[in-house]
Amino acid sequence: MVPFRAENPLDLPNRKCTVGCPNLDALLDGGVPCASVTELASESGCGKTQLCLQLLLCAQLPESRGGLSSASLCLFSEPPFPLRRLQSLSLSFFGTNDPLDHIYVRGVHSADDLLATLDRVDSLLSNPPSSLPIGLIVIDSIAALFRSDFDNNPVDLRRRSSLFFRIASKLKAQARRHGAAVVVTNQVVDVVGSDGGVRVGNYAWLGSSGRRVCPALGLAWANCVNTRLFLSREEVVVASDGSSEESARVCRTRRWIRVAFAPHLPESAREFVIVREGVFGLLGS
Amino acid sequence: MGISCLPIAPSQRAKLISAGYKTLNSLSSVSPSDLARDLNVAVHEAADILKIASENRLVERTFGGGQAIVPGAQTAWDIFREEQTLKHITTFCDDLDTILGGGIKCKEVTEVGGVPGIGKTQLGIQLAVNVQIPADYGGIGGKAVYIDTEGSFMVERASQIAEACIRETLDNFVFQHKDYQMCPEGMQTNTFLSNIFYFRICSYTEQIAVINYLDEFISEHKDVKIVIIDSITFHFRQDFDDMALRTRVLSGLALQLMKLAKKYSLAIVLLNQVTTKFTEGSFQLSFALGDSWSHACTNRIILYWNGDERYAYIDKSPSLPSASAPFAVTNKGIRNAVLLCKRTRMM
């Protein structure tokens, strides 16, 4: 019996799922890769969830438009699920609410619950409930599951990183077997002190809202994802009447998305905006 | 003894071969200035090549093949001579090749570790491509086995790296040897990609099984000259309550890989993750899988950030001095770092 067959890299699937904006797709060289785990890390209010919702919809676009022609699954850990926003995005991208029929949603409330759910997802992936196969799994957010249940002692930390690797291994196996794209979101923690800890990825200094931050869950989790994208925001004064009063200033939020590390992408960044119609990258930023 | 065995940089080997110097004897009556002209290199560089060549000729002449006293036994001298003929796989970064003594060595297990995003997978793909540079172009013309445990092998990236490798190899060659008839047979991106045997592993049981299967696989594909495991660690960092068992399993795998390396004279490259370890009141980076694993590999290279530059550091090697060298990850793959101070630091 030959347990394994060597594969020719030329025969490997090489699909990407569009994020619904050509400028953002350009940054990602076509979108979010299938059979791979992509992480979106940022502080709250940067647009992670917005981008996830848009992805959940875009997976249903036909392949001619960069999508996967498939249904999607969202496991969320920070209730409530933003259904209204999903609805308005669906109207913006499809002009109808029909795509919502092919987006499966489930809340998870702990790491163990997530693992148990992922076991059940196996059969969902093998026997999709509708005519469309499931091509995208979103977990929003992974960090929320790990921020309360674990103490800062060696035993808990070891248990925590062992769980990271179990979850990541499960996700990667599902992504590989079903050719699905996996997107997880992560929070950030402030970097205290001048040392800054271990540098991970292309940027020695990651900032958001004027503070120095780094993605949560530490080095162990960083080993678990294939691609890490970092989203940030800054308040920028766009107009001022010259006086020093706060009220006289007009501020605008500028947002950026950066490739922190990726096996297939160079270091690059792009400014993006969140508008009623969705999340869009800006040209020439 | 051919040029291909000379312990010099692969780029110099390629220049020698393309200038028509195929054997050591052909170098015996050349003056450094003639050689410098033929190779289009500096005179002192040509002199260095001639010096190495004459030393190797001497070695060859003085000590012809001896008889082993015990069947299967080798004298240290035999082993030394064998090591002299060992082939290297270039990394395409001159500084890194220099501290490695010409590149990644065949017949040895080399472990490469670093933080996520430092370029471990990039180095892995680069080696899987570079091993295929044909002997005529100064390479070793082998094939690669790539065992992917993390899913980071991206075909589009491998394709970019292979394309750049082929273009540069051909460019160098034509530049050196203008009248040479271009015959890029097999020098095509798709051929290079097809010569990578790719295994995707989703659990540690699969990983153990595929390493057990390698012997059989390579006996059928003897032209495999490098096995890359990216990474050895990932599946062993979950679910192992019995750490002693994990250590035993891993040592077993390491032994098997070492045997493979010797038996088929191929290079084994294991990519490893790093973790933070709490020692003496501060957190330090160390390789994953613990202390006993550190005995498993012959060579150990750490990739790390130094400011905004990527560096490689030889942490452990029986034959190479500790040294560090900068490298860069570009759109073409692993290349020389662009630095103000490009000198290799010896420590």
Q: Is residue A1 part of a domain?
A: no
pLDDT digits (tens, 9 = 90+) for A1-22: 445 789 999 998 889 999 999 9
Is it the case that residue A247 has pLDDT exceeding 90? no
Residue A160 located in a structural domain:
yes
| Residue A4 belongs to some domain of the structure | no
- B240 CB neighbours in chain A (<8 A) are 162
pLDDT value of position B58: 65
pLDDT for residue A196: 63
Find the helix or strand (DSSP H, E) in which B270 lies: strand B267-272
* Chain B CB contacts of A217 below 8 Å: none
Among A2, A175, A201, beta carbon nearest to B116:
A201
CA distance A269 to chain B (A): 16
Q: In the predicted model, what is the mean pLDDT of residues B214-220?
A: 94
Which CATH number belongs to the domain containing residue A238 in this structure? 3.40.50.300
> Average pLDDT of A75-91?
93
The model's confidence at residue B340, banded by pLDDT at 50, 70 and 90, is very low
Distance from CA of A105 to the nearest CA of B (A): 26
Residues contacting A227, CB < 8 A, separation 6+: A33, A36, A37, A38, A39, A259, A261, A262, A263, A264, A265
Beta carbons of B120 and B114 less than 8 angstroms apart: yes
Q: What is the CATH number of domain B1-80?
A: 1.10.150
A121 part of a folded domain: yes
Whole-angstrom distance, CA of residue B232 vs CA of residue B241? 18
| pLDDT: which is higher, B23 or A77 | A77
> What average pLDDT does the structure give for chain A?
90
Please check the confidence at residue B240 and state whether its pLDDT lies above 50.
yes
pLDDT of B243 above 90:
no
Position B80 pLDDT exceeds 80: no
What is the ipTM for the molecules in this complex?
A: 0.91
28-67 in B: which are within 8 Å (CB) of A?
A: none
In the predicted model, what is the mean pLDDT of chain B? 85
Higher pLDDT, B275 or A52: A52
Residue A8 covered by a domain = no
Q: What is the pLDDT of residue A268?
A: 93
Closest partner CB to A223 (pick from B116, B156, B213):
B116
Instruction: Quote the pTM value.
Output: 0.85
More confident residue, B260 or B280: B260
State what percent of residues in chain A have pLDDT above 90: 71
pLDDT at B69: 59
- How far B193 CA sits from the closest chain A CA (Å)? 6
What percent of chain B is modeled with pLDDT above 70?
87
Give how far B282 is from chain A: nearest CA, Å: 11
pLDDT at B116 over 60: yes
Asked if pLDDT for residue B158 goes beyond 70, the answer is: yes
> pLDDT value at position A1?
42
The confidence score (pLDDT) of residue B135 equals: 87
β-pair type (A134-140, A71-76): parallel
Please tell me which of the candidates A223, A264, A266 has its beta carbon nearest to residue B156.
A264
Cα gap B157→B164, rounded to integer Å:
11
- A66, part of any domain: yes
| B55 Cβ contact list (under 8 Å, min separation 6) | none
Q: Specify whether the CB–CB gap between B297 and B281 falls below 8 A.
A: no
At residue B213, does pLDDT exceed 90? Answer: yes
**Structural domain includes residue A2:** no
Quote the DSSP letter at residue A15.
-
What residues make up the domain containing A263?
14-281
Q: Is A198 on the interface with B (CB under 8 A)?
A: yes
Q: Provide the shortest C-alpha distance from residue A70 to chain B (in Å).
A: 21
Q: How many domains does chain A have?
A: 1
A 10 A CB-CB count for A127 gives 8
* Model confidence at B63: pLDDT above 60: no
Distances (CA, A) of B216 to A1, B221, B222: 12, 9, 10
- Higher pLDDT pick, B4 / A104: A104
- Which among A10, A163, A225 has CB closest to B194? A10
Asked whether the predicted pLDDT for residue A109 surpasses 60, the reply is: yes
Q: Among A36-50, A146-160, B214-228, where is mean pLDDT lowest?
A: A146-160
Residue B157 CA to residue A197 CA, distance in Å, equals 30
Given a cut of 80, whether residue B61 has pLDDT beyond it is no
Query: How far is CA A231 from its chain centroid?
Result: 10
Higher-confidence position of A234 and B19: A234
Q: Which residue has the higher pLDDT, B85 or B109?
A: B109
Q: Specify which residues B230 forms β-bridges with.
A: B148, B271
Using a CB–CB cutoff of 8 Å, tell me whether A234 touches chain B: no
At B62 the pLDDT is: 52
Task: Give me the pLDDT at residue B182, please.
Answer: 56
Instruction: Give the mean model confidence (pLDDT) for residues B33-55.
Output: 84
- Among B209, B238, B331, whose Cβ lies nearest the Cβ of A162? B238
Contacts of A173 in chain B (CB under 8 A): 202-203
pLDDT band at B190 (very low <50, low <70, confident <90, very high): very high
Residues of chain A with pLDDT > 70, as a percent, come to 94
Per-residue pLDDT tens digits for A145-199: 987 778 878 788 888 889 999 999 999 999 999 999 999 999 999 988 766 678 8
List pLDDT tens digits, range A264-284.
999 999 999 999 999 999 987
Mutate which: B115, B123, B201, vs A, most A CBs within 10 A: B115
When pLDDT is averaged across residues A55-62 and rounded to a whole number, the result is: 96
Q: Tell me what pLDDT residue B342 has.
A: 46
Answer yes or no: is pLDDT of B216 > 80. Answer: yes
| Mean pLDDT within B66-86 | 70
Class of domain B86-346: alpha beta
Position B179 scores a pLDDT of: 52
The domains of chain B are located at 1-80, 86-346
pLDDT at B155 over 60: yes
* Contact yes or no for A110/A145 (Cβ under 8 A): yes
What is the pLDDT at residue A60? Answer: 95
**pLDDT per position as a tens digit, B269-303:** 999 999 887 766 666 788 888 888 888 888 999 99
Query: Which region among A250-259, B34-43, B76-85, B123-132 has the lowest average model confidence (pLDDT)?
Result: B76-85
Give the model's pLDDT for residue B35: 85
Question: Is the distance from CB of B107 to CB of B261 less than 8 angstroms?
Answer: yes
Q: Which residue has the higher pLDDT, B182 or A63?
A: A63
Within a domain: residue A6?
no
